[in-house]
Structure 1
Amino acid sequence: MKRIKTGIIGTGFVGTVHIDALRRLGFVDVVAVAEANEELAQKKASDFFIPRAYGNYQDLINDPDVQVVHNCTPNHLHLEINTAIIQAGKHIFSEKPLGMNRFESSKMLELAEKRQLVHGVNFNYRMYPLVQDMKHRIQKGELGKVNLIHGSYLQDWLFYETDYNWRIEPKYGGATRAIGDIGSHWCDLAQTLTGLKITEVFANLSTVIPVRKKSKIVETFSENREPTDYEEIPIHSEDWGAVLIRLENGASGVFYVSQISAGRKCYLNIEIDGSNQSFYWNQEEGDRMWIGYRNQPNTYFMRDPNQLDPKCRGYVLAPGGHPEGWLDSLKNSLLAYYRAVLDAKNSINKKPDYATFQDGYDISCIVDAIVESHQKGKWVKIAR
């Protein structure tokens, strides 16, 4: 197997976990990182023993040895940087959201397909082994007809008025925050599991903390905060959102998201109620799924490679009883993506397990419709 040389643009929290996941693949070498300036790039390269450091993304993209580029920058930079990567003819893996809206996402999708590049977006929750197993169970008809779908994604990392991050500001994060940041993951899970598109939404969004106190900028999830010298900032992005949905088969659903629910760290859960049984999965207990019945005892199915659908056993990294989690789901996404890179000529037109720019564009369409629904106070059909 030939080795692949990769570069990372953006080395904050997400960029560093990309580096870790790539090194676990065994056939990918992270040869370069790019940051906003030379000093920061050199520090990150030194911290992670990466040979090349660039003070701007253009130099990394132009490095002839770099075959694949990961864009791990804030949302507002995705269109500019992703476009440059694609135009340079490099395979690309982008953080979500693909674009700030469906129009930006559409441009990147069209360009990547035109250049026939392998493109991926980091919707990694779909790559938990039990999520893949649920998907295949539903495809085989075990669930029966999908009747209802519901769930939530709850966090507390913006619980205090002194919690601040670039995602809060629409000019950096986009028109929506909680929906775009974490609700997008729930929507991707819903469509991945059921194989059905969300066709219509009715949304209610709320800014619970209307003014926040901004201190110096810190990396995501960092605890290094200054206790004084805050600037009060009016907030125009939502802390909470609830969305009614309709699927293309006529099924109904609902999900809600929050970034201010004390005690909830990464509480992503989803339940699909079918005509035969129900499936439930919670990311914080990602190694087991619940199967519900009407006329027999309910069961918990534990992740065990010997009992999973053969099509998804390749994503199991450890024997049953050895927990796998969020970092492993990213590794699984990148494993599937880089296998496609290795066979780029034959993989371009195939539907992979990992999320592509097509999936990223589709989620952008849903998020835009949710924002429109909230603004207009009515059901909005998804424009794709």
Structure 2
Amino acid sequence: MDTPAWAPPRGHPGHRRADTLTRTPRPRGHLPRGRPDPILPAAPRAAPRTPPATACVRHRKRPPNPRSATAIAAILAGLLGRLGLPAALPAPDRGGSSPGRAAAVEMLEAPPLLLAAVFLGLVLVVLLLILRRWGWGLCLICWNEFVLQPIRNLLMGDTKEQRILHHVLQHAEPGNAQSVVEAIDTYCQQKEWAMNVGDKKGKIVDAVIQEHQPSMLLELGAYCGYSAVRMARLLSPGARLLTIEINPDYAAITQRMVDFAGMQDKVTVVVGASQDIIPQLKKKYDVDTLDMVFLDHWKDRYLPDTLLLEECGLLRKGTVLLADNVICPGAPDFLTHVRGSNRFECTHYQSFLEYRKVVDGLEKAIYKGPGSEAQP
């Protein structure tokens, strides 16, 4: 018969320690009677658990999303380009670059959220500067054109001008110029603001057209074709309208708008810069003199193009110049010239910025001939 392993008796000093530290408790009913509790060896201490490598992934810095960074960089570059600022920094010399340039490069390589914060900060600074100098009207225009429009274009995958055309094709009646005008007004009032002449100032344009009945009309700045269709629908049979647009995408949309409205026999869309096209009007486009000129392009081109029209002999006695947005965004040099010259008889029509309650106006200047000189 095997002799059981020795265990300290219950009165022995080591019995309590062994019993509490090393013995695994179990019901005493499972042990044979008369046999002492077995002493089990101590369980080895478990090594500290090492967290798996994947547990730290969430604490790591995520790399920037290249698509988001590219999109934000494109919006920022477009804003800087319209403001006349460089859209990118020159490539740095990694070996001996200055601390300032290195910091700029690190900023451009930052995650998309940081780029978005920098972009919005720059936009706010620009808007505050515009608000301080020109007021709410120009600030509203910049907010729509440089902030909301690029974001919508990015999200929707097309341009605002394409969306306007799509709305017209869906909701206007082909061959009905009035329905085209109303469809554009509805879209710009309810969905997206656009810098057309608009419904309120459009009624002033209608009144000037009906009063003077031009047979040869020149428009500077076609945009989406709103004003071209609006004016052409009131022209008498045989009258012509030449509209000059520097942006080929806008010119293409204008052509489709004119064709859809059924005004293609009256309206000719010319692609190019006004200062390049005006000297060609007599020879290339068979224009003798102009009965009316509607100025609605870049406001800083109002005065230079007026002087160019006069220099090229395209203005006759009685030619009507009608300029839009002379208050907002404003054309102060043009107003100073025509109002301070004996060669023009001026009338101001106060109104509101298109589709907004911001004060604006149109200026009508009737050319009286080259005989009179400017007032001192």
Normalised to the residue count of structure 2, the TM-score between the two structures is: 0.31
Structure with bigger gyration radius:
2
Q: Larger RCO: Structure 1 or Structure 2 (Cα < 8 Å, ≥ 6 residues apart)?
A: 1
Structure having the higher helix fraction is 2
- Output the TM-score relative to the length of structure 1: 0.30
